Structure 1
Amino acid sequence: MTAVAERAAARDAGTRDGGAPVATQVGVLTAHTVRTMLADRRLLLITLLEPLPMLLVFGQALSGLARVPGFPPGVAYIDYLVPALMVTTALQSGLQSATRLTDDLRGGLLSRFRAMPLWLGSVLVAQSATGLVRGTIRLATLIGLAWAVFGFRCRGGPLPLLLAIAVALAVAWALGWAFMALACWFRRAETLQAAAGLAMFPLMFASNAFLPVTALPPWLRAVARVNPLTHGVAAVRALTLGRPALPSVTATFALALLVTAAAAPLAIRGVRRTA
């Protein structure tokens, strides 16, 4: 966010005694942040191309895993892999929202917002909403490349694919709030990214993202079964493979709500303390 966002928020907020509704504040801040993101052509190009190396590396280098015991019969590895990449790609968008928050904290933008009739939590909601827009763009690019270049097919059809995107974004939304809570604690993008990388490595590899849980060693299998990423990937995968998905989808949305309910108050309290 920039000084333009400050002026936009001030214009819509009115006076200190009678600020704009929270929904208006969130709308103004979100619209500005999304416009800024789309106007940065280099960032937009990186966002669009980011799924390609993941498809190349994971799709080609790990394709032999389709022969391990427990792998679903008759399923191409690219069809097994893309749902996992959908979740992890959306997750990166949540992390980027938290990284942008550290920039705002260190730049003093949130401190200047204190002089306005603005609920500071609306800044976090706007960052999170922008992360959903960014995640949607990345997911559309990922699915398009996987379909056109690597032969990915969604057996469930278009409606389950849309629901699968919604599930991936729900996971990203929830963990994005957790990352923003950490951002208020670390206050430095470098520290946040190092901590997030340390957390995301076991989240990705101690799960069903690249292998069936039954093919993992016993101790790693136990970790994978309580890993929230496992449930998100299972829900997205069931939808794209055209398999029964209601229990896993319901569990994933419920878990996302629980994580958001726990992390959002911590993030809002943290930004009030640090701004």
Structure 2
Amino acid sequence: MTAVAQVEQWSHPGSFTQLRLLTARQLRHAFADRRAVVLNLVQPLVMLTLFGQIFGSIAGPGALPGGVRYLDYLMPALLVTTGIGAAQHAGIVLVREMGTGMTARLRSLPVNLRLVLVARAVTDLTRAALQLLVLLACGAALFGFVPSGGVPGMVGALVLALAVIWSLIWVFLLIAAWLRSLEVLTGIAFLVTYPLMFASSAFVPVEKLPGWLRAVATLNPVTYAIDAARDLTIGGGSAASPAVGLAATAPLGVAAMLAAFRAFRRPLSR
């Protein structure tokens, strides 16, 4: 084989090889600081403890469907809402890499730019998966969370939550790739996070919300994902099904992914 042929072969690795190398780089960076990893894993536990104690203390026996404990009602919601933080992190890291020159260096290599975003999404989905596993394990060990749906229901809710998180990650990657401003992204994340979390069925049934907030929660796709997760774990009596939960978020994720690919190909200079 000639030297030119060797260079040509090295310069065009396959898509799978590119994705593997890009994801490995992102994972090494994500888990390099053990302190940050520990803090990332305990965040959902803090939310479980605080919201479980605060809202659980005021939730009457008849306030929840089927008379379930508030902790059991809250856990499926946290599986879904935990992903909002992971999605924000994906966008923040992307903006930072675009600002430090890492993205410019990748553009100078024979790399499929779409795979750069996919690697970023896979990395943050992995972080979220670890968070959810720790949340479920600690919820069972420390708070006695035993879903009536059993292990199959818990696994189904976990898979559903990861699918929703995948869609949310692409939404924030789109925002980051299009706006390319950490300050603007942070501001949008603040405005999006709280309506997605609190204007939903995450902490109280939709029927208990004020009229205007109930209307917002009905339009919130996160509501259907949370209700579907509850159906799988505790059988909350909601009409939502896993298929409905996915249908409410998957189209948004696909559209955001395609738009993010296009936005990321724009020149870096403004």
What TM-score do the two structures reach when normalised by structure 1?
A: 0.88
CA distance in 2, matches of 1:44, 1:155: 31
Is residue 123 of structure 1 aligned with residue 119 of structure 2?
A: no
Question: Counterpart in 2 of 1:192?
Answer: 185
SS of 1:62 mapped into structure 2? helix
Question: Counterpart in 1 of 2:103?
Answer: 110
Q: What is the one-letter code of the residue matched to 1:226?
A: L
Is residue 28 of structure 1 aligned with residue 38 of structure 2?
A: no
CA distance in 2, matches of 1:253, 1:144: 25
SS of 1:273 mapped into structure 2? coil
Residue from 195, 209, 214 that aligns with 2:207: 214
Deviations 1:139-175 (A, max 9, x none): 0111122222222222111121111111111111101
Is residue 231 of structure 1 aligned with residue 215 of structure 2?
A: no
Q: What is the one-letter code of the residue matched to 1:151?
A: G
Is residue 183 of structure 1 aligned with residue 160 of structure 2?
A: no
Q: What is the one-letter code of the residue matched to 1:227?
A: N
Is residue 248 of structure 1 aligned with residue 249 of structure 2?
A: no
SS of 1:39 mapped into structure 2? coil
Extract unaligned runs of 5+ from structure 1.
1-13
CA distance in 1, matches of 2:153, 2:130: 18
Shift of 1:68: 7.7
Contact 1:17–1:117 under 8 Å retained in 2: no
Residue from 75, 81, 92 that aligns with 1:82: 75
> Structure 1 pair 130/245, CA: closer, same or farther in 2 (3 Å)?
farther
Deviations 1:200-242 (A, max 9, x none): 1111111100010111111211111110110110011111104
CA distance in 2, matches of 1:151, 1:257: 32
Q: What is the one-letter code of the residue matched to 1:221?
A: R
Shift of 1:262: 0.8
Q: Percent identity?
A: 39
CA distance in 2, matches of 1:274, 1:244: 50
CA distance in 2, matches of 1:86, 1:263: 22
Q: What is the one-letter code of the residue matched to 2:162?
A: L
Contact 2:84–2:193 under 8 Å retained in 1: no
Is residue 269 of structure 1 aligned with residue 262 of structure 2?
A: yes
Question: Counterpart in 1 of 2:131?
Answer: 138
Shift of 1:247: 5.3
Q: What is the one-letter code of the residue matched to 2:19?
A: V
Q: What is the one-letter code of the residue matched to 1:178?
A: V
Contact 2:113–2:264 under 8 Å retained in 1: yes
Contact 1:184–1:271 under 8 Å retained in 2: yes
Question: Counterpart in 2 of 1:204?
Answer: 197
Contact 2:83–2:168 under 8 Å retained in 1: no
Contact 2:222–2:249 under 8 Å retained in 1: no
Is residue 162 of structure 1 aligned with residue 155 of structure 2?
A: yes
Deviations 1:19-56 (A, max 9, x none): 22222211111122113322321111111221222122
Question: Counterpart in 2 of 1:8?
Answer: none
CA distance in 2, matches of 1:214, 1:247: 15
Question: Counterpart in 2 of 1:6?
Answer: none
> Structure 1 pair 101/15, CA: closer, same or farther in 2 (3 Å)?
farther
> Structure 1 pair 68/158, CA: closer, same or farther in 2 (3 Å)?
closer
Q: What is the one-letter code of the residue matched to 1:232?
A: A
CA distance in 1, matches of 2:74, 2:238: 17
CA distance in 1, matches of 2:62, 2:188: 34
Q: What is the one-letter code of the residue matched to 1:127?
A: R
Is residue 99 of structure 1 aligned with residue 92 of structure 2?
A: yes
CA distance in 2, matches of 1:187, 1:98: 9
RMSD between superposed Cα atoms in Å: 2.1
CA distance in 2, matches of 1:91, 1:114: 29
Question: Counterpart in 2 of 1:52?
Answer: 45
Extract unaligned runs of 5+ from structure 2.
1-6
